[in-house]
Structure 1
Amino acid sequence: MEAFHICPVTNYYKRILLPVSYGLVFVLGLTLNGALLWCVCARTRRWSSTVIYMVNLAVADLLYVLALPPLVISNAMGGLWPFGDVICKGVRFLFFVNLHCSMMFLTCVSLHRFIGVCYPIAAVRIRTKKLALFASGSVWVLTTAEILPTLVFAHTGVINNMTVCFEMTNPKQFKVYFPYGLFLAIVGFLVPFLVVVTCYCSMMKVLYCRVAGSISNARTSHVRNKSLYTLLMCILVWSHRATASEEQTAE
């Protein structure tokens, strides 16, 4: 088997930084998303369209973090995969499905807020529970279909006498995988990213113009600034999540 040179920085990244990062994400994600789901299910009697999107986002995030423990163990062992081929495929599939679902639900939330802020009259007719349920179901079905090829590409292999779990494919299948990887980059990242940025930029413009056109005082300025900061944070969070997805796909 062909020998591979291991860069010290890459080795440090995989053995220490990735396990620590994934471990923190697992603990925080499991705790916070679990608490959110418990609060919503226990205390919310009437579910609005906003609650439906947020619950689906929390479920996707919760399932995403459940795929992290095997990856933490594998990276801490220097890339060794001791769990077998079936779990390799299952973990990769679960990881990418829920990561992409999270990004798509964030996109749905962005569109939901965009309609409410920029088209408040039409929002009464458009932002319904029925549409939210349909959109949520479509996200799960379409994203699952989009990531199904992972079950074919992801598999275990041997490098330097060590069993590893390939993220999406091995180097020999790169030409076969490339069109699919390009499809994921465009449909799973570029299009949602453009939608989110467009929505939040439009909302910031509308909020700024509305407050600027009204009587300016300390309270309205505070509300405007708070709203703008919130929108900027949403863009940064989505961008970070999408970048993480692209980094995992590229490994």
Structure 2
Amino acid sequence: MATSSERFSDGERIAKFLARAGVCSRRDAERLIADGRVKVNGKVLDTPAFKVSEKDKVQVDGRPIGAAAPTRVWRYHKPTGLVTTHRDPAGRPTVFEHLPPELPRVISVGRLDLTSEGLLLLTNDGELARKLELPSNGWVRRYRARAYGRVTQEELDYLRDGVTVEGVRYGAIDAKLERGAGANAWISVAITEGKNREVRRVLDAIGLKVNRLIRVSYGPFQLGTMEPGAVEEIPAKVLREQLGQKRGE
């Protein structure tokens, strides 16, 4: 077994290497290592602190893993009815089962739940995905929510200072009433944290039941007029302009 004393003096940590190679997230890479599924130069690793260089032969479940390919990012219009996971224990259809076969292995930047739709960013760089999910980046996620119930702009303004729902604190939320005639209201919502089911839970707390939720942008990237199920790669030049030091390089 390779131990923590057998580290390289240079290179990068194996978990980060696997994430950047698009195998999985850094956290999942640590789980793979803990399960004994990762080898370097034929030795099973027992620590995510092990460093690798370009000369090392890395394997996951016996499959050779090459050095990280150039960072690529795609926009995907996620339809409803798909879960954002590579495997679902309940057997529900997943986003990754419905992607074009020519795409390399990709990781989602954050998630959209089963009944949510709209913009989902995909990347072959797990380290970048982790960085873009961090609230500290300050990237705004914008949604359009259709919700059953009646609400005023004054009630929505209450969310600007954040709100606590069932013991969970949510940060500032910018919510604007687009139209509220009839039983349903359309509301534009902007958040920076992206906690699990945040928009649904916060609007539920003020008496609204969300029955449709569409993410229209994530940071500088827009859903635009993409059809449900469509995938479009973001040009490398645009990535350089928009991501800067967030690329994890």
Which band: TM-score by shorter chain? under 0.3
**Which structure has greater strand proportion?**
2
Normalising by structure 1, we get a TM-score of 0.27
Normalising by structure 2, we get a TM-score of 0.27
